[in-house]
Structure 1
Amino acid sequence: MKVHEAAKLLGVTPRSLRFYEEKGLIKPHKEAVNGYRTYSDDDLLRLRWIVTLRELGMPVSAIIEALNSMDEPEAFICKIDGARASLYEEWVSATEALQALDETLLAWQQGGSAQLVHAEQTAERIRQNRKLRSSWSDQWNYNEIALRYGQDAPQATLEGELTAQQYEQALGRTVEWLDPRPGEPGLELGAGSGNLSVLLAAAGVKLTVIEQSTEMLSILRNRLPLVDAKQGNLLTLPLTSQSYSFIGCTFAMHHLNHSQQLLALEEMDRVLMPGGRIVITGLMSEQEPEQSVKHELPLVTTSSLPELVHSLEDNGYSVVTESLWGNTCILCAIKP
């Protein structure tokens, strides 16, 4: 099939097909005599994927990575999932910018003049959030940890902090605080290999989980194929606003610094329904952030319980806490 015929069939322009060829997405046969391009059935199928994924918002670079994995369904899905997370990050940033712009315009209208200081303050807040999101990285190599320990990986990273029995008891206590109800939409953040997810799914909730490690996600999906598992991290949740009745998070916040933890709370608030509940179980201290000392576990930032509580209460949440063992605490917050 010639380029114009292929373009008409796919609903795109010939220029689009040439663009995909220039980017290495497709390599049609070129006739030796006149250099005309011809597209085989396999080429057309690949082009259908390309056109569809472009319409779904995926950038060319992500499409190339995904198509190179098409012979491995799980790897292909992971590539699409990662691209989806990146798109949500752009969407969240754009939404924040629009809300900040609205606030600035309102201040100008109420003040009767356009003051630069209002714009500077909101722009700085957006800039700092963007910096926080981009500064996070998986310094623990959770993919390797997942391959080594399997579903026991999350507890293995807490060695020296919690015994296996205490870890299981902490998960059970988290479920008790969450009080999951059959059929309600629930969210778990930093789900790891799915140890808490198993307990929540058994309660009959409509569960969505977020995990940044592809290997952890692979384990979780194999354990719980009916759970909606998405790739992402706590700083930019790839989810729509006000969608969940509860949020559970166990032993994940210590992977963030104090500023990132507060941003994670903002993201939880964004996706939680009014009247919903948040339960965070993890390594927490009664000290303020500036009084925090380096934790024995590598690359760990023990949460400041007063800081988390104040942040939530400032947004109208009702908060209660429970101390378990050592630095292990539970924070439960109810959204107004």
Structure 2
Amino acid sequence: MGREFLDIFTDWADTYDDSVAGDDPQYAAVFANYDDILTEVVRHASGTVVEFGVGTGNLAAKLLEKGSEVVGVEPSNEMRSIAAAKLPELTVQEGDFLDYPSLPADVETIVSTYAFHHLTDEEKDLAIKQFSGLLPTEGKIIFGDTIFQSVAHKQKAIDDARKKGFTDLAEDLEREYYTTIPVIQTIFNTHKFDVTFKQMNDFVWLIKAERMK
């Protein structure tokens, strides 16, 4: 359920905002256009919004600024504490993509950035199946996450990272469950979503899915 990576976020919580600002050269390309990615997710969100993987609250802050009603779900105690300090008006519940408290009955949009890859492909499928049951017709899932056009593209990214001496990035790409566009498309289509993809940087794609009848 992605919780196998919680120790990483325990260690990363205090410096996460520095990383997304591009201060870590190994991850600068991963977080390139970070603000634009969050803005694009917010632009497509409507109605009551549930955010999975709130982290330090950067996406939630933009949603609240837009005037959205937001409920956050985050498994990391350290990340929840930082988000709560930054956004005392935000409701953040303990949970993850598969195991979470009761959500608002009127949820219209589910969002997440830089988190869905913590699930295996089988878990991704189960999560989208559950979300399909939560959302109304034309309800939306808007994710910004690292995915690849193919397994070959993923391997090239790993090889390029190693050539640059970016050992942490290479190990991250090998350790976590980064998948491909065809796999994600099949998952969403199977659970009655129309899905489109928009590349936001060399790693991250905007995934926009709408619940069909």
Find the counterpart in structure 1 of residue 54 from structure 2: 191
Q: Is this contact kept in 1: 2:42–2:63, CA < 8 A?
A: yes
Gaps of at least 5 residues in structure 1 are 1-132
Shift of 1:303: 2.4
Identity of aligned residues (%): 19
Higher share in helix: 1
Q: Distance in 2 between matches of 1:157 and 1:191?
A: 21
Q: Distance in 1 between matches of 2:204 and 2:188?
A: 19
Find the counterpart in structure 1 of residue 139 from structure 2: 276
Shift of 1:139: 5.0
Q: Distance in 2 between matches of 1:139 and 1:220?
A: 16
Find the counterpart in structure 1 of residue 202 from structure 2: 326
The one-character-per-residue Cα deviations of 1:130-186 (angstroms, maximum 9, x if unpaired) are xxx4x842254312211x3164466678942536552122111222233x3xxx311
TM-score (norm 2): 0.80
Find the counterpart in structure 2 of residue 232 from structure 1: 95
> How is 1:201-212 mapped onto 2 (pairs within 5 angstroms)?
201-212=64-75
2:92 matched to 1:252? Answer: no
- Counterpart of 1:231, as a letter, is E
Q: Distance in 1 between matches of 2:28 and 2:16?
A: 19
Find the counterpart in structure 2 of residue 317 from structure 1: 193
- Counterpart of 2:15, as a letter, is Y
- Counterpart of 2:53, as a letter, is G
The one-character-per-residue Cα deviations of 1:308-333 (angstroms, maximum 9, x if unpaired) are 11121122212111112212111101
CA RMSD of aligned residues (A): 2.8
Shift of 1:270: 3.0
The one-character-per-residue Cα deviations of 1:245-300 (angstroms, maximum 9, x if unpaired) are 10111010122222222222223223323321111111011226x99648525232
Q: 1:302 to 1:150 in 2, by over 3 A?
A: closer
Gaps of at least 5 residues in structure 2 are 159-169
Which residue of 29, 37, 42 corresponds with 1:162? 29
Secondary structure of the residue aligned to 1:187 is strand
Q: Distance in 2 between matches of 1:261 and 1:291?
A: 20
Find the counterpart in structure 2 of residue 301 from structure 1: 177
Between 1:237-246 and 1:203-212, the stretch displaced more is: 237-246
Larger Rg: 1
Find the counterpart in structure 2 of residue 264 from structure 1: 127
Shift of 1:201: 0.6
The one-character-per-residue Cα deviations of 1:200-257 (angstroms, maximum 9, x if unpaired) are 0111111001111111101111111121110111122322485411011101012222
Q: 1:297 to 1:170 in 2, by over 3 A?
A: farther
Q: Distance in 2 between matches of 1:154 and 1:210?
A: 20
Q: Distance in 1 between matches of 2:16 and 2:203?
A: 25
Query: Which protein, 1 or 2, shows the higher relative CO under an 8 Å CA cutoff with sep ≥ 6?
Result: 2
Find the counterpart in structure 1 of residue 149 from structure 2: 286
The one-character-per-residue Cα deviations of 1:25-61 (angstroms, maximum 9, x if unpaired) are xxxxxxxxxxxxxxxxxxxxxxxxxxxxxxxxxxxxx
Which residue of 149, 152, 161 corresponds with 2:15? 149
Secondary structure of the residue aligned to 1:149 is helix
Q: Distance in 2 between matches of 1:170 and 1:208?
A: 20
